[in-house]
Structures are given as structure tokens and as C-alpha cells.
């Protein structure tokens, strides 16, 4: 892996290019409007194990790395038993890579660490419901179980938009648990977009003030 690919040797998928993302122009139209991430509307697991909470908390910590880099805060952790094999965070902007979702980063780093393109017996924890691309990669990797936090009504491929894992012709390997620390994971995304909207408003207000100070343009 080259340093610009978004992976590093320790499997943590730390990326050198993320600093670039902080300078990226925030989009005016957020990917996840806050109303789409209201927790509690989907079925949450009745009982969340201490183990699932613990590993999801690690995925949440990885998501904060994405936030710090100006990326949508989604994080993932890949574990085998009690061992953390790799973590990854969302970084498509800084990585100039549409496939650089948190799950992909964790899968790539884990496959490198284990020197195996298949990862049987492993579980992937991710703070946001995987998209179709990530669901496909998860199936190719033969991941045993996916655990996700917030549901994604825009691109979720574990039941919200489509359920890729429910198709027995596609999926023979992966079980899915959704809604683990759902409210907390959703809140991290909501606060990110709220901050971004605030920053855009402040920028526009400053630009309007500057225009007022300049006064009306002189007629030519």
C-alpha cells in the first residue's frame, strides 16, 4: 500500500491525506439531513451485549478521527474474537477515493494484517449502516457478522433501503445486528452536520457583511 492509499502498516487505516479534507468546501446540501437520523424509529436490538457496546465504542472513536479530518464521522472496527485486527474511518474526500468508507478501510487494513483476502470468523463493527458497496465487500471477505449503529435511510443496505444480506443467493456467511448504540452513533452524525450548517451560515453572513461594508458598486 502506498502512503496515499489511506492505509498504514499498523492496520489502523490512518491516512496522511486527511488533512486535505479539512480545507474542502462543505457541501450546502448535507448527505444526511438531521431529520433522517432521528434515533429510535428503527428496531433496536432488545439487549445489547457488553462486548458489542465495547467494540462499537471503538468504532465511535474511529469516527471521531474522520470528524477531525473534516470527513463525515463514520468509524469501523474489525475484530476476531477479542482481538482488534484493524480500525478504519471514513475519508473519501481526503483520500480522493469514493470507496474510502470506514468499512472498506477496516477491511483493507485487516486483510493486509492477516495476509488473507478472506476474513472468516471476523466481525465488523461500524457506526453507520453499511451501503451496498460495503455490503458487497463484506460478503466477499466472508465476514461472519456485521454490527452497525445508526440506520441510514439514504443508502443503508442492511434493511433501510435494500437488504443485501437477506438475499440467500448473495449471502451465505454474514449475520447482521443493527441499532447498537444507535442514538449515540446517530447523534455524532447529526452534530457534524449541524456544525457544518452553522459554519456555512457564518460564512455567508460574513460575506454579506463584507459586501455591505464595500457599499453599492459604482456605476460604470
Positions in the binding site for Zn ion (CB under 5 A): 101, 131, 133-134
| Closer of 44 and 132 to Zn ion (Cβ) | 132
* Cα–Cα distance for residue pair 54/96, rounded to 1 Å: 31
Measured from the CB atom, the residue of 65 and 101 that comes closer to Zn ion is 101
64 is an active site residue: no
Nearer to Zn ion, 134 or 181 (CB): 134
Minimum distance, C-beta of residue 71 to Zn ion, in the bound complex (Å): 13
| CB 74 to Zn ion: min, Å | 8
Residue 126 CB, shortest distance to Zn ion, in Å, is 8
Which position among 71, 103, 123, 129 bears the catalytic label?
Answer: 103
Q: How far is the CB of 159 from Zn ion (least distance, A)?
A: 15
What is the residue whose three cell numbers read 480545507?
23
Minimum separation from the CB atom of position 218 to Zn ion (A): 52
Contact status, residue 122 vs residue 81, Cβ threshold 8 Å: no
Q: Return the C-alpha cell found at 175.
A: 449475520
Cα dihedral across residues 10, 144, 42, 161: positive or negative = positive
Residue number, 34 or 136, with CB nearest to Zn ion: 136
The nearer residue to Zn ion, 101 or 108, going by C-beta atoms, is: 101
- Active site amino acids: 103
Amino acid at each position: 500500500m502506498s502512503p496515499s492509499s489511506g492505509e498504514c502498516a499498523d492496520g489502523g487505516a490512518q491516512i496522511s491525506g486527511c488533512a486535505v479534507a479539512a480545507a474542502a468546501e462543505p457541501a450546502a446540501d448535507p448527505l444526511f439531513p438531521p431529520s433522517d437520523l432521528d434515533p429510535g424509529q428503527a428496531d433496536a436490538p432488545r439487549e445489547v451485549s457488553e462486548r458489542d457496546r465495547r467494540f462499537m465504542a471503538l468504532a465511535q472513536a474511529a469516527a471521531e478521527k474522520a470528524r477531525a479530518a473534516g470527513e463525515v464521522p463514520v468509524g469501523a472496527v474489525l475484530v476476531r474474537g477479542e482481538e482488534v485486527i484493524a480500525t478504519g474511518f471514513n475519508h473519501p474526500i481526503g483520500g480522493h477515493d469514493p470507496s474510502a468508507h470506514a468499512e472498506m478501510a477496516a477491511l483493507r487494513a485487516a486483510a493486509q494484517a492477516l495476509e488473507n483476502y478472506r476474513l472468516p470468523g471476523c466481525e465488523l463493527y461500524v457506526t453507520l449502516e453499511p451501503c451496498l458497496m460495503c455490503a458487497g465487500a463484506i460478503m466477499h471477505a466472508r465476514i461472519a457478522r456485521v454490527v452497525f449503529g445508526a440506520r441510514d435511510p439514504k443508502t443503508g443496505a442492511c434493511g433501510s433501503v435494500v437488504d443485501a444480506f437477506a438475499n440467500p443467493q448473495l449471502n451465505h456467511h454474514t449475520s447482521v445486528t443493527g441499532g447498537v448504540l444507535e442514538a449515540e452513533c446517530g447523534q455524532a452524525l447529526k452534530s457534524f452536520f449541524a456544525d457544518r450548517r452553522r459554519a456555512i451560515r457564518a460564512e455567508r453572513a460574513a460575506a454579506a457583511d463584507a459586501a455591505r461594508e464595500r457599499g453599492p458598486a459604482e456605476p460604470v
